[in-house]
């Protein structure tokens, strides 16, 4: 329903209400309430579409950043293998971290301990996300009446 049609319907219902002339099967208050609900739903739909576009673009951005970082690590290995100098390869990784200010603190000396400490909260969040995705998938399957073998 176009905005023009909705506005015409609204005006007709308002006039009918003012003049006390309306179909007995449907009251003008009902039509006006339905139009209000429709307008609110359309507004919310537009907001959700905008939010969806934003989220999709953020997802795409993250995918590209991850792809870039994988490419840098691959280039670092190629550089190391081609020159035999690990420092040349490491320069690729160093520059990737240095640019946005992501180098580790110079006081860090134990790489494994640093990794374990920093990775633990990331891994915890990843596991929570994986659980959420699994539960969503199971709920969708259940709603569609799709069972899992062995049930």
Radius of gyration of the chain (CA): 29
pLDDT tens digits, 36-92: 889 999 999 999 999 999 999 999 999 999 999 999 999 999 999 999 999 999 999
pLDDT tens digits, 94-135: 999 998 889 999 999 999 999 999 999 999 999 999 999 999
Where does residue 6 rank: exposed (0-12), middle (13-18), buried (19+ CB within 10 A)? middle
Measured from the Cβ of residue 17, the count of other Cβ atoms closer than 10 Å reads: 15
Tell me the domain boundaries of the chain.
3-103, 110-143
Cβ(13)–Cβ(28) below 8 Å: yes
Q: What pLDDT score does 147 carry?
A: 78
- Tell me the average pLDDT of the chain: 88
pLDDT tens digits, 20-38: 665 555 677 777 888 888 9
Cβ(32)–Cβ(10) below 8 Å: yes
Q: What length does the chain have?
A: 151
CA 64 to CA 67: how far, in whole Å?
A: 5
């Amino acid at each position: 329903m176009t905005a023009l049609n909705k506005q015409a319907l609204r005006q007709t219902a308002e006039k009918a209400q003012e003049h006390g002339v309306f179909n007995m099967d449907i009251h003008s208050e009902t039509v006006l309430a339905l139009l209000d609900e429709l307008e609110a739903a359309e507004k919310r739909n537009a907001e959700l579409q905008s939010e969806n576009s934003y989220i999709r673009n953020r997802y795409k951005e993250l995918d590209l950043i991850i792809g870039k970082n994988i490419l840098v690590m691959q280039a670092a290995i190629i550089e190391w293998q081609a020159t035999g100098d690990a420092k040349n390869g490491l320069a690729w990784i160093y520059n990737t971290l240095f640019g946005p200010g992501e180098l580790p603190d110079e006081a860090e000396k134990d790489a494994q301990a640093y990794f374990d400490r920093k990775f633990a909260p990331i891994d915890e969040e990843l596991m929570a996300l994986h659980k959420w995705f699994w539960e969503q998938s199971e709920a969708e399957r259940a709603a569609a009446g799709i069972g899992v073998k062995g049930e």
